[in-house]
Structure 1
Amino acid sequence: MGIFVKYNRELAARYAMDWALTRNSQYKDYENWGGDCTNFVSQCIHAGGIPFDHQGNDILKQWYWYSDMNRSPSWTGAEPLYKYMTRNNSKDTQNFGIYAMEVDYNELQIGDIVQLVYENDLAYHNMIVTDVILDGEFLVDYLICQHTYDLLNHPLSMKQGEKRYLKILGYYE
């Protein structure tokens, strides 16, 4: 049985705010190769304590980045990241690596992921939640950070397009 470790949402959000308007030179910038949004979000998730995952039985079930030539598709691709995050674990499994699930808008927390999706439900853009705006107990909005049209603490309500919401619970080691 795997040991469950909680995701450090605050560290992920802090990394996002530190690097939203610039690039971490330890990673390749994919801005000119289709966009850097998923690479950035993956960095944030990793900064939140989620370890690289080489355990899946094929590369589409893994998540890691060591160099441009040594990375998984889920590290830099929006739809592969969605599939990795939502299929790696469920309430009935304890596979090594991330445990995340699709949730409703009002269930997001700092460090969770918002995806923009096409009509056929394929993700094409990733953002990370960096703040939850409340009026008393009532949810007003979320602030997000992203690469590819770099944004720092931008209101999610101002982002157009169909959205999908991913909650990161933690990982199994």
Structure 2
Amino acid sequence: MCLLQDYDRLAAVAYAHRWAYGRNPDFYNYDSIGGDCTNFASQCVYAGSGVMNYLPTFGWYYIDANRKSPSWTGVEYFFNFLTRPQSSVGPVGRECLLTEIRPGDVVQLSFTGQGFQHTPVVVAAQPPYAPENILVAAHSFDADNRPLNSYEYLLLRPIQIIGVIRP
């Protein structure tokens, strides 16, 4: 069992605010080919974790537009990486209750009720922890400090980042 180290929530949130309405030139913008939301969420989580996992199939990494893991840009793959059962390098998350969500965590939204299609980053949350008191930043539907309850979704999947496994 690897020791979990702290996740820098403040760094993740600062990154989200900085790039919510822009695109970091170090990363490709996937808006025109399926959306940029999970790419943006990965960038934010990377800002808070400082480590990527370069495993070819099951890792979480970005080298360039064509050399990245499916989990870097894919909503379901991102969830699978964060909540992986085996210990490996990178941020570690767990599906949680909405009342446990904090800035620097992510939520995933299902607009259809089948699968999840969007990954906003939590930038603020205050009690009572309900959608109207949780603010997010996102790409594809570019937003910063957007109330979670302003989205029209059928399902919500909160993911708490519980720590980072370093090499």
Contact 2:95 2:160 in 1 (8 A): yes
Distance 1:88 1:15 in 2: 28
Distance 1:24 1:96 in 2: 24
Q: CA RMSD in A?
A: 1.5
1:149 aligned residue: 141
2:102 aligned residue: 109
TM-score by length of 2: 0.90
Equivalent positions of 1:35-114 (< 5 A) are 35-55=35-55, 58-59=56-57, 61-89=58-86, 94-114=87-107
More strand by share: 1
5+ residue gaps in structure 2?
none
Distance 2:107 2:12 in 1: 14
Q: Pick closer, same or farther for the CA change 1:172–1:146 going to 2, 3 Å.
A: same
Q: Secondary structure at the match of 1:4?
A: coil
Alpha-carbon displacement from aligned partner over 1:50-92 (angstroms, at most 9, x marks no partner): 411024xx51x10000101110000011111011111155xxx
5+ residue gaps in structure 1?
none
Q: Please tell me whether residue 159 in structure 1 is matched to residue 141 in structure 2.
A: no
Distance 2:79 2:103 in 1: 18
TM-score by length of 1: 0.87
Alpha-carbon displacement from aligned partner over 1:125-152 (angstroms, at most 9, x marks no partner): 1000000134xxx335100000002001
CA apart distance, 1:96: 2.5
Contact 1:111 1:168 in 2 (8 A): yes
Q: 1:139 corresponds to which letter in structure 2?
A: Y
CA apart distance, 1:103: 0.5
Aligned residue pair count: 162
Q: Please tell me whether residue 119 in structure 1 is matched to residue 109 in structure 2.
A: no
Taking every aligned residue pair, what percent have the same amino acid on both sides? 33
Q: Secondary structure at the match of 2:32?
A: coil
